[in-house]
Chains A and B, each alone.
Chain A
Amino acid sequence: MPPESANKAPAPRRPRKSKPPRLQVKHLGPIQSADVSFKDLTVIVGPQATGKSIFLQTLKLLVDRDQIHQTFKHHGMVFNDKADAFMEGYFGRGLSGVWGAQSSMVWNGASVALPDYAKPTRSKTRHERMFYIPAQRVMSLPGGVSQNFGQFNYGDPYTLRAFSGAVHDLIQNEFGAKGELFPGPNRLNETLRKPIQTHLFGGNRLAIDAKDFTKRVGLHVKGQAEPLGFLSWSAGQREFTPMLMGVYWLCPTTYRRKTGHTADECIEWVVIEEPEMGLHPQGIAAVLLLILELMRRGYKVVLSTHSPVVLDMVWALQEFKKLGSTEASVRQIFELAATPDAKKIAESALTKDYGVYYFDRDGSVRDISNLDPGAIDTAESDWGGISGFATRTNNAIADAVAASEVKPQRRRKAPSPEAA
C-alpha cells in the first residue's frame, strides 16, 4: 500500500490575482508580430516553421536567464558576453540570427533586447522557474539510457539538454534505487494512473533495468522474461516516457517542485511542446489529464500542439465555464468516475483561464482563444488550420451528396412504328 502522503493530492494554493504575463515581439525569427498574454493554460498552434519553438525558448530565456547561465557555467561553457555564441548555444546551431536589426521585444511592459540576455544579471537568485519539455524529448533517452546535460554538444538546444539532465537525475538517482517507474512510484493517484496504464502501456510495466552496469529504461511485458528494448516500443511510448519522467519530476509529494531554498523558490511555469506526439487520441486524453493536474498544482502551463484533441478540451472547458457547468461535465469528457481526486481535478479546471494563439504562415500571431466554430474568421473557426481539413472534407461530402441527388432527366422514347 502506498504511503498516504504520496497518494493524497496536495491542496492547491489560493491563486494570485495579478496581470497575466505578456510577451510582445516583433521580427523575431519568422515571427513578424506577436502579442501573447499567458493564461493558466496557453496553447499555441500553427504550421511548421512559424516560430512557435523560438517563441517558447525565448520565453524560457526571459524567465530563467540567470539559472540558464549558471547551468552553462557549471558545465564549463562560458560565452564571454559574445551574443552570437550564446544564441547558438542556447537556441541551437544556426539560430543566432533569430534576433536581427529590426527585432524588438517587450516583456511584461519592459522593453528588452535578446542579445543582452547573453550574459547573466548580478542577481543572486538562481532557482529555475520554468520547466521545459521539448519536442525532441525522445533524444533524452537514446536506447533507453538517459543523457546528462554534458553529453550533448554545443549547438544542441539548451531546452533539450536541460530537460535531458532532469530526466537523467531522476532515473539515475531518485528512481534508480527503486527500479519501478510505472505504475509503481506513487507520484500519480489512481485517477491519473489508470488512463496511462490502459491507453499508453496496455497493462505493461515500466522499470529501470540495471543489466550490463547501465541503468536502462525497459518495458516489461507480461509473460516475457526480458524487457522490450527501447526501439521495440511503440513510437508513442518512446515519446511519452520522457514526458512522464518530466511530470514525475514536477509532481513531488509536496505542492510544487522546489528549485531554490524556500517554498516560493519553485517551478512556476511548465512548457510542453507537442504533448500529443505519436499518441492515439485516447492516449492524448490521458496526457491532458496530467496537464490539468499540473494546473491544479498551480503551474502555469504553455503547450504547442497540432492536435484537435487538445483544442477540443480547451474549447469544452471554456464553454463549460460560460454555461455554468459543474465538474461532472469535465469528468464526462475524460470518462472519469466521481472519485475525490477526479472531482478535484475537474473542479480546478473550471477555475482556470485559457488562451489560444495562432502562429500564421504570414508571420502574424492571432488570439483565437474563443475557438468559436461559427466564427467568420476562419483562423478561429478552423482552430488555426487544425480543423481546416475536416471542414473541407465535410463540405465536399455535403456537396457530393447534393450532386448525387440530381436525377438525370428521362427522355421520352419515340413510339416505335410497330406500336403505332
Chain B
Amino acid sequence: MAGTGGKRLNKGAIQKPSAFGLAAHAAGMAASPGKEAVEGSYRAQIVSAPGWQFTGSVDVDTHFKATEAQAHRWDYGIGIGQANGQELECWVEPHSASSSRHVGEMLAKLDWLKRKLETAPFKKLRAMTYVPGRTGHPFYWLRTLSGECRITAHGREARRLAKSGLRMPAQHLTLP
C-alpha cells in the first residue's frame, strides 16, 4: 500500500493503512513505511518510546522543493501510534545547532510548517499534531551530529525558541 504508509504482509495481505498514511495522502504526499522517509544518517537518532511504533513518514522538504524552492521548508513528518489505535504526528527537522543564528532559520521553518498546517489539505495532519492532552511535543529540532551545539539554555535565543513552541535542539529523540 505504497503512499499511505501501510505495510505489505508476508502472505500477500495488505495491512490497513495508518491514519498517518491517509492524512499524508490527503495532503498530497506519499508516506513511506516506518521512518524510511527520513534520511538514513538521521534515522538512528530517532527512536520510538516503549509501547509506540512508527506508522509512516513523509519527506515534506522534498515534496515542496519544486513548488516552493525559496521557502524555509520543514524536513520530516513522522506518524507514531500505539496498539490502541491512537496515532500522533511528530514533526522533525534535522538542523545544525552550531550557532545561535540557526535559531532564526528554525523559527522560519516552523512558521512555514504551521502555515501549511492551517491549509485544507493538511487538515488531517493538523488534527494528529494538535491533540488535546497529547503525549509528547509535536515539533522537534534534531541537532545534526556533525557540528557542535552552541545554543545555551539561559540565552535569549533559547527563550525565542520556547516562545515559538520549539524545544531546545536534541541529539537523540524518543518519540512521541
Q: How far is the CB of A205 from chain B (nearest CB, A)?
A: 34
Cβ–Cβ contact A405 & B168, under 8 A? no
Q: How far is the CB of A323 from chain B (nearest CB, A)?
A: 9
Bound form: Cα–Cα A373–B171 in Å: 10
Contact A394/B168 with A372-B148, A387-B152, A406-B130 known, Cβ cut-off 8 Å: yes
Q: How far is the CB of A321 from chain B (nearest CB, A)?
A: 12
Cβ–Cβ contact B153 & A391, under 8 A? yes
Select A398's contact among B114, B132, B165, beta carbons within 8 Å.
B165
Cβ–Cβ contact B153 & A373, under 8 A? yes
**Nearest chain A residue, comparing its CB with the CB of B167:** A398
Q: Which of B123-175 contact A (CB under 8 A)?
A: 130-132, 134, 137-139, 143, 148-154, 158-159, 161-172
Cβ–Cβ contact A401 & B162, under 8 A? yes
B159: chain A residues at CB < 8 Å are: 394, 397
A402: chain B residues at CB < 8 Å are: 130, 137-139, 165
Q: How far is the CB of A403 from chain B (nearest CB, A)?
A: 8
Bound form: Cα–Cα A308–B132 in Å: 36
Cβ–Cβ contact A394 & B158, under 8 A? yes
Cβ–Cβ contact A374 & B161, under 8 A? no
Cβ–Cβ contact B153 & A374, under 8 A? no
Interface residues in B, total, Cβ within 8 A: 31
Interface: B97 (CB within 8 A): yes
Q: How far is the CB of A298 from chain B (nearest CB, A)?
A: 30
**Nearest chain B residue, comparing its CB with the CB of A395:** B167
Bound form: Cα–Cα A373–B167 in Å: 13
Cβ–Cβ contact B148 & A405, under 8 A? no
Select A394's contact among B97, B130, B139, B167, beta carbons within 8 Å.
B167
Contact A373/B162 with A394-B167, A399-B137, A406-B131 known, Cβ cut-off 8 Å: no
Interface: A414 (CB within 8 A): no
Interface: A101 (CB within 8 A): no
Q: How far is the CB of A342 from chain B (nearest CB, A)?
A: 24
Q: Which of B90-122 contact A (CB under 8 A)?
A: 97, 114
A319: chain B residues at CB < 8 Å are: 148, 150
Cβ–Cβ contact B165 & A406, under 8 A? no
> 26 A-B residue contacts at CB 8 Å?
A322-B148, A373-B151, A374-B143, A374-B149, A374-B151, A374-B171, A376-B172, A381-B153, A387-B153, A390-B153, A391-B153, A391-B168, A393-B162, A394-B161, A394-B167, A394-B168, A395-B162, A395-B168, A397-B159, A398-B164, A401-B162, A402-B137, A402-B139, A402-B165, A405-B114, A406-B130
Given contacts A373-B152, A402-B138, 13 further A-B contacts (CB under 8 A): A374-B149, A374-B171, A376-B171, A382-B153, A391-B168, A394-B161, A395-B168, A397-B159, A398-B161, A398-B165, A401-B163, A405-B114, A406-B131
A interface with B by C-beta (< 8 Å)? 308, 312, 315, 319, 322, 372-376, 381-382, 387-388, 390-391, 393-395, 397-399, 401-402, 405-408
